Amino acid sequence: MKQAKCVLLGEASVGKTSILKNFQGQSFQAYERTTLDTSKVDKMFTINDTKLKIQLWDTAGQERYSQFMSMYYRKSKAMLFVCDIKSNQSIDKTIALFKEIQQQDQDNALYYIICNKIDLVEDYQVKYARDKLKKLKSEVDFKQMFFVSALNGNGLEEMFQEIATDVEAIVTDVEIDIIMQPVIQ
């Protein structure tokens, strides 16, 4: 069985915890408290007859403590940068975080941009975000962008399956990529 660590990154309130809960099979909760600690969920995938255990981490918006971030994403095979598509500021901050982490990442993870809350925006807002992120793709390398809704689950299953397929292709059988939760004192 192959194993891989993947990390959700992004500001508080962009929907990382709701995406994590969907990954776990739980339904959306309208009044989710801001996550104060990291959490992780394991899920099994079968890709081309190969079992893959994905360990998905929620960083709880701890990007504001950037000196500790590398402890959370170290040894990750995929980093999922989540933004709130209704907020231009969220998109800009996600781009800045993406660039910062990509410069520091020594594990050559796969990068994904996840635009959440598409159920709450008009088509022109999706187009604006898509155009802005396409421009980013010309500057830095990320595997793909997804437009999803943690509220109604739109696009999430397909996103997880595609990411799992990409991750399975880069993980070898002998790698042990699961890292214990870092302790900050």
Distance separating alpha carbons of residues 92 and 132, to the nearest angstrom: 9
CATH class of 2-170: alpha beta
- The pair of three-digit structure tokens given for residue 45, joined into one six-digit string: 């995938």
CA-nearest of 58, 56, 30 to 45 is 56
Q: Distance between CA atoms of 11 and 138, rounded to whole angstroms?
A: 23
Res. 155: pLDDT tops 90? yes
pLDDT, average across residues 155-176: 88
Q: pLDDT over 90 for what percent of the chain?
A: 40
- Answer whether 10's CB lies under 8 Å from 81's CB: yes
The Cα 173–Cα 90 span in angstroms is: 37
* Tokens describing residue 149: 């809704």
Which residues are 79's β-sheet partners?
A: 7, 111
Q: What is the pLDDT of residues 4-16, one digit of tens each?
A: 999 999 888 899 8
pLDDT in tens, 79-115: 999 999 999 899 889 888 888 888 887 778 999 999 9
- Supply the pLDDT for residue 163: 97
Which runs of consecutive H residues, i.e. helices, occur in 112-183?
123-139, 156-170
Number of H helices, E strands in the chain: 5, 6
Report the predicted TM-score, pTM, of the whole model to 2 decimal places. 0.84
What does the pLDDT read at residue 154? 93
Strands 50-58 and 39-47: antiparallel
Q: If we measure between CA atoms, which residue out of 101, 117, 2 comes closest to residue 52?
A: 2
Domain locations in the chain as residue ranges: 2-170
